[in-house]
């Protein structure tokens, strides 16, 4: 795998790379298609017959753009396609989407997408053609069935069409603000994790009081007390296979999942997002598998959802969980307990 060299590439270098691509497209050095000789028929078809493997210079240009793109994964980005045009893609998406966005004129076969997917610096170089073709097929099908699909399949021509080619970056920014949540959450940095663990230790030092956490987007959000006044505990959910043995007396899976849900950016995220934030806890077994964690988090979210005063709810249309206590204050929980 090639080292990510985004720190060494100013934006002007990426612009220079885009100019090189345009020049090479016009001189037939990147594909078999000559932009200056396209007939009306070829423009109607709006596609190359096939995409050839990119040469090292084009691949290097793409990798510079790719590295720059993933330094700010939460924002839309404009790639240079192999025919020299600019094509915008939505925030936080996939290898397959990046490849589809770079199709010349936004049209190509699945094999064409496979060719461009191999340009990525994040793909295993020795992957076989059959393995890659199978993975790309699954990726294209998932993109096709999204609420706002970026690709569609033309059965008549046996080709895939990239639908976001003419969108502006500002359109994606408006959509992301409307959804108010990224599609996925990356693991927190060591600094953010250390900050959370300090808050977590303080929170469980006074389990009978509501507590205010700092969410990953920097906002303050309140979680309910661990036990009611008079010493009566909330219902305990035990998952000893994922929790450390030396945890505070009142710490349970119930608490672990609720704390993670409260820290979701914008109060919204998928179950996998909750799993990512759960791993920040100092009270969880570090070597737990992803499948074990998903199973435990699923059970925790379901139980929180069916409480008398639920702190989460599931949105079936977006397949996301919403934290419902985001606008509450510490005083609200104190009033309820009196």
Of 282, 253, 265, nearest to 321 (Cα)? 265
Where helices occur in the chain by DSSP H, the ranges are 11-26, 40-45, 56-69, 95-101, 110-117, 129-144, 169-179, 190-205, 253-262, 271-278, 290-305, 330-337
12 — pLDDT class (breaks 50, 70, 90):
low
In order, the DSSP letters of 206-246 are: STTS-EEEEPTTS-EEEE--SB-TTSPBPPP---TTTB-TT
Is residue 185, in this structure, part of any structural domain at all?
no
- Domain end residue (candidates: 179, 201, 220): 179
Q: What is the pLDDT of residue 39?
A: 38
74 vs 217 pLDDT, higher one: 217
Q: Is residue 169 part of a domain?
A: yes
Burial 199-223 (b: 16+ CB within 10 A, else e): ebeebbeebebbbebbbbeeeebbb
SS3 179: helix
Q: Could you tell me the pLDDT band of residue 28, with boundaries at 50, 70 and 90? A: very low
62-120 residue pLDDT tens: 888 887 777 766 566 777 777 777 776 655 457 898 899 889 989 999 999 999 999 88
Last residue of a domain, one of 179, 211, 234: 179
> Could you tell me if 282 and 147 lie in one domain?
no
Q: Model's pTM, two decimal places?
A: 0.47
How much is the pLDDT for 24?
53
Q: How far apart are CA 138 and CA 145, in angstroms?
A: 11
Q: Domain residues for 304?
A: 190-337
Give a yes or no: residue 119 inside a domain: yes
Same domain, 153 and 24: yes
User: Does 204 share its domain with 131?
Assistant: no
Q: Are residues 145 and 224 in the same domain?
A: no
Residue 12 and residue 111 share a domain? yes
Whether residues 155 and 278 fall in one domain: no
Query: pLDDT value at position 74?
Result: 57
């Amino acid at each position: 795998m090639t080292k990510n060299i985004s720190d060494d590439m100013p934006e002007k270098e990426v612009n220079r790379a885009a100019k090189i691509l345009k020049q090479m497209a016009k001189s037939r050095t990147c594909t078999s298609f000559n932009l200056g000789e396209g007939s009306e028929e070829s423009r109607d078809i709006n596609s190359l017959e096939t995409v050839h493997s990119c040469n090292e210079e084009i691949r290097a240009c793409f990798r510079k753009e790719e590295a720059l793109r993933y330094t700010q994964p939460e924002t839309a980005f404009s790639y240079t396609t192999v025919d020299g045009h600019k094509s915008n893609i939505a925030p936080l998406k996939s290898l397959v989407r990046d490849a589809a966005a770079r199709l010349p004129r936004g049209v190509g076969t699945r094999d064409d997408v496979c060719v461009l997917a191999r340009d990525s610096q994040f793909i295993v170089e020795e992957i076989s053609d059959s393995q890659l073709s199978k993975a790309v097929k699954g990726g294209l099908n998932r993109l096709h069935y999204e609420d706002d699909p970026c690709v569609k399949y033309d059965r008549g021509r046996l080709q895939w069409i990239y639908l976001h080619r003419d969108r502006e970056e500002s359109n994606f920014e408006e959509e992301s603000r409307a959804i108010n949540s990224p599609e996925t959450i990356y693991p927190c940095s060591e600094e953010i994790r250390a900050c959370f663990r300090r808050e977590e230790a303080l929170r469980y030092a006074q389990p009978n009081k509501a507590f205010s956490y700092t969410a990953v987007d920097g906002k303050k959000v309140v979680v309910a007390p661990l036990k009611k006044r008079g010493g009566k505990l909330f219902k305990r959910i035990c998952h000893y296979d994922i929790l450390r043995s030396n945890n505070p007396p009142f710490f349970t899976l119930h608490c672990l999942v609720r704390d993670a849900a409260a820290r979701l950016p914008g109060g919204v995220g998928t179950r996998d997002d909750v799993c990512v934030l759960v791993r920040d806890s100092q009270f969880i077994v570090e070597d737990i598998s992803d499948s074990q964690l998903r199973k435990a988090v699923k059970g925790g979210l379901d139980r929180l959802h069916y409480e008398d005063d639920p702190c989460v709810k599931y949105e079936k249309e977006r397949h996301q969980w919403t934290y419902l206590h985001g606008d509450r204050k510490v005083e609200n929980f104190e009033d309820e307990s009196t």
